Chain A
Amino acid sequence: KNEVEQSPQNLTAQEGEFITINCSYSVGISALHWLQQHPGGGIVSLFMLSSGKKKHGRLIATINIQEKHSSLHITASHPRDSAVYICAVFSNEKLTFGTGTRLTIIP
């Protein structure tokens, strides 16, 4: 079993829909990252969380340390949000990544 599990693996939605991507982890962590990867490979860090909730524009990330669970929400989704979203946890001095959620927003 992977230390970091994401769901769903693939998600297709209509423009404007509210999107939720989930991440569960099985190890003790110091921080959790949500990352965005576009075709071509470059990774952009969206959020780093150790507790609570963070918001940036239309993106919201939450974490529940007791339940070892985090969610990434996108409000009013747009085709430009189409990308792979990756959850990564910092534990034992290294980052461990989930396999990613491929999000496609249809106009």
Chain B
Amino acid sequence: EAQVTQNPRYLITVTGKKLTVTCSQNMNHEYMSWYRQDPGLGLRQIYYSMNVEVTDKGDVPEGYKVSRKEKRNFPLILESPSPNQTSLYFCASRNRGRYEKLFFGSGTQLSVL
């Protein structure tokens, strides 16, 4: 089944403790991205990657890192999480040029205390 898999689904952590949210897709998509969704603010893009070893900042990259060492994986790293990073996170992927066919993962609800 074609899908984007994020883990974990829920995460509660404390300020400053490094964490990684994993994202994997099995559709051989070149393009992957991370969004955060906050009440009243909608979906905002954090980082995106056009292909392996190619990443770039989205609209709200501060406090996040990403890497794209393999085509299928695009982890989101929070080196020192803070409470303002409490949010619902989505990973998404698509084929290059097929922007309407954006496949989303099921989301990761992160709470930073």
A binds B: no
